[in-house]
Structure 1
Amino acid sequence: MRVFKIAAVSAAAVMVLAACGEAPDEEAETTSDTETTADAGADGEDATGGDTGEETAVAGGEDNSDFKACMVSDAGGFDDQSFNQGAYSGLLAAEESLGITKAEAESNSDAEFGPNIDAMVQQGCNYVIGVGFLLEDAIQAAAEANPDTNFGLLDSGFQDADFAPVELENGKPILFNTSEAAFLAGYLAAGMTETDKVATYGGLPIPSVQIFMDGFSDGVDAYNEDNGSAVELLGWDKEAQNGSFANTFDDQSQGASLGEQFISQGADIIMPVAGPVGLGTASVAEGTDTKLIWVDSDGFLTTEYGDLILTSVLKDMGPAVEATIKEGVDGAFTNEPYVGTLENEGVSLAPFHDFDAEVPQELKDKIAEYQEQIVSGELVVESPNAP
């Protein structure tokens, strides 16, 4: 069954994308003369044990230290080499380029989301960003209870008790259509496998995870259709929206277990969509012929397993976060969603790094052709999990 289509963008899609924010400037001005001082009594832990460290930076060209931008992580922390770390880089960049004050709280479990967000509000944050779909309830509750504070939410919109979408005047969704870049990764994987089996799995069965898996599946199908091949995808059935999940974003042993399972079934390219859990897969892939495709950040640069990373499906979260903070600094905050796409470079496929010479030029050219079709709207990568 063909699970992607080539067509003009529908009128509904045009309306949605027209309402989306512009691409962030990836070359935002930064300065080298940054003075950092800790506010008295700011560093420490809240009642939940989450880190609520606070710092003030004065950039060489700007001083917006009266504006405080704050961030609350999902489980895994800001050094997870993946999702949280990518988002946090935007807060750090804004601190340097805009001269804002920042504060952050690391969550060790779901139970800490609400208290950590409340801690940020109590610290007088002008803008509080929740990192990840799982923080939706806590961010929405805080936004409704604190109308004078602005909130951002990565990877999710807001919804009512019946799961219908709602708009909050002080809540900004920061979303990424990663199915587009994951399509390219799936096509690459299908073109590079030597066993005709590739695999993917997720951390949790949530839209921001499944959208990667949807696009990856479509890319494999496109390769098979173009080349009369029969590459098999393990771990995800797009049509049924059913597949393999670690049910965690921080237990690397689950990643190791799933990796061993896929390798034993013959998969030689695996895409974990599970943050640090993917490091467990990398640990069991070492010493085998198995390659990995990383997600969110460039795994070649952010992990210790660069020699295994064929490419990465990137969410350019840092510039998106920095851009929304700048909106607040400029007094131009809106609740208009930002949606990262291939067209605005909010999502992309990372370089092939050590594997560049191994990827045939014909395959590179075909991937570039598909990227152009997606950007132009000629090819629409469909996903029920798309923003």
Structure 2
Amino acid sequence: MTISVRKAALAGIAMVGATVLLAGCGSAPSASKTTSASSKYLPCMVSDSGGFNDKSFNELGLDGLKEAASGLGTSYKAVESADQTVYSSNITSLLNQKCNLIITVGYLLSDATKTAAKANPKTDFATIDDNEIDAANVRPITFETDEAAFLGGYAAASYSKTGVVGTLGGQQIPTVTIFMDGFADGVAYYNQQKHKNVKLVGWNEKTQKGVFTGGFEAGTAAKQAAQTLLDQDADVIMPVGGPIYQSAAQAIKDSKKGQVLIGVDSDTYQTDPQNASLFLTSVEKGIAPATKAVVEDAAKGNFTKTPYIGTLKNDGVGLAPFHDYKDKISSTLPAELNTIKAGIIDGSIKVESPAALTK
């Protein structure tokens, strides 16, 4: 049995009048006209610096926006941020385009979103991975990713042959460390239940210190950070930070020792076929269906400031299939994970991250 996030059907979407701007600055996108009655409603999105091709949370958010626009028979606008300096100007460009709803992707856009929402109370906003803005026109989209990462940590510890697993992050912000906390708890729970001593490198939940690349870009820093974990004999690694996993994948390929990765946000086995063979599983967030639901609610006049919260209970987070590794894991692992999932849902197994956004 597989524990997995319920996915919306995103492939093969026939877009109606949809236009996406992939720009590193705030230049104005232009959307095609439609004849649909819904075409007057314009949902929009701003990425963080990871970009819409991160095969992670920015891309998933855009997928949800696209699907919602298609179903509504309307157009959409999306602006890609080259770096943090253009967050505010990109939001302003969408305000100038008369967007009805502006979705900002990522915790780092919080300040820019808060300022824009306060200055434009008639425009609705939604924030993915941030719940720090308390305003009538801002709806948070958040996820209890520590719950799903707990399952990932347990699975990593179960699979490890060296007795060492690791995790690393992009920037040390709550939406990153919540994964790492849950992962650490899952490893500890495995050790407790199995009377083992699997070691976790790259993150200390008690001290909240660990290995970070300093950003959300693939490159030398990300590869070197992953290498520090490989050098400590970690054979299962969970990189948390959008495309930084791509550099970790290259480090594993270069080492030629058969280490594996755990993806985050999306089922990376499916979203990145080039590196699919390296993924034991992935800790998923249902960003696409959540975004779709928030856009549809707003378009129907049902916008609310009440947060959307993805949990194991509502399938908003979960653990992806083991794919190529289904015959290489312990035969008892799937049943153990289902039991743990039930325990987390009913509260008998506690998952408590200092970085939790929704608790």
TM-score bin, normalised by smaller chain: over 0.9
**Is the CA contact 1:203–1:209 (under 8 Å) kept in the aligned structure 2?**
yes
Question: In the aligned structure 1, how far is the partner of 2:211 from the partner of 2:295?
Answer: 36
Greater strand share, 1 or 2?
Answer: 1
Residue equivalent to 1:17: none
**Is the CA contact 1:128–1:152 (under 8 Å) kept in the aligned structure 2?**
yes
AA aligned to 1:36 is G
The count of aligned residue pairs is 350
Shift of 1:158: 2.3
Residue equivalent to 2:168: 201
Match of 1:292 among 256, 261, 268: 261
Q: How does 1:131-280 map to 2 (within 5 A)?
A: 131-159=105-133, 167-280=134-247
Q: Which moved more, 1:146-155 or 1:295-304?
A: 295-304
Question: In the aligned structure 2, how far is the partner of 1:128 from the partner of 1:345?
Answer: 25
Residue equivalent to 2:79: 105
Q: Residues 29 and 298 of structure 1: is their aligned pair in 2 closer, same or farther, counting only changes over 3 Å?
A: closer
Shift of 1:100: 2.3
**Is the CA contact 1:50–1:116 (under 8 Å) kept in the aligned structure 2?**
yes
Residue equivalent to 1:355: 325
1:241-261 alpha-carbon deviations (Å, 9 max, x no partner): 111110110142222111221
SS of equivalent residue, structure 1 residue 239: coil
Question: In the aligned structure 2, how far is the partner of 1:117 from the partner of 1:107?
Answer: 10
Question: In the aligned structure 1, how far is the partner of 2:211 from the partner of 2:113?
Answer: 28
> Is residue 89 from structure 1 mapped to residue 56 from structure 2 by the alignment?
no
> Is residue 124 from structure 1 mapped to residue 98 from structure 2 by the alignment?
yes
AA aligned to 2:50 is G
Q: Residues 57 and 369 of structure 1: is their aligned pair in 2 closer, same or farther, counting only changes over 3 Å?
A: farther
**Is the CA contact 2:171–2:241 (under 8 Å) kept in the aligned structure 1?**
yes
Q: Residues 251 and 52 of structure 1: is their aligned pair in 2 closer, same or farther, counting only changes over 3 Å?
A: farther
Residue equivalent to 1:14: none
SS of equivalent residue, structure 1 residue 101: coil
Shift of 1:25: 8.7
Shift of 1:36: 2.9
**Is the CA contact 1:52–1:106 (under 8 Å) kept in the aligned structure 2?**
no
Shift of 1:82: 1.0
Shift of 1:288: 2.3
SS of equivalent residue, structure 1 residue 158: coil
Q: Residues 278 and 30 of structure 1: is their aligned pair in 2 closer, same or farther, counting only changes over 3 Å?
A: closer
Residue equivalent to 2:290: 320
The percent of aligned pairs where both chains have the same amino acid is 38
TM-score (norm. length: structure 2): 0.92
Q: Which moved more, 1:88-97 or 1:207-216?
A: 88-97
> Is residue 36 from structure 1 mapped to residue 17 from structure 2 by the alignment?
yes
Question: Structure 1 unaligned runs (5+)?
Answer: 1-23, 160-166
1:177-216 alpha-carbon deviations (Å, 9 max, x no partner): 1000000000000000000000001101100000000000
**Is the CA contact 2:281–2:319 (under 8 Å) kept in the aligned structure 1?**
yes
Residue equivalent to 1:49: 25
Q: Which moved more, 1:189-198 or 1:90-99?
A: 90-99
RMSD: 2.2
Shift of 1:376: 2.1
1:76-107 alpha-carbon deviations (Å, 9 max, x no partner): 21011112111111011111111122001100
Residue equivalent to 1:76: 50
Question: Structure 2 unaligned runs (5+)?
Answer: none
Question: In the aligned structure 1, how far is the partner of 2:339 from the partner of 2:29?
Answer: 46
Shift of 1:232: 0.3
Q: Residues 158 and 268 of structure 1: is their aligned pair in 2 closer, same or farther, counting only changes over 3 Å?
A: same
**Is the CA contact 1:44–1:51 (under 8 Å) kept in the aligned structure 2?**
no
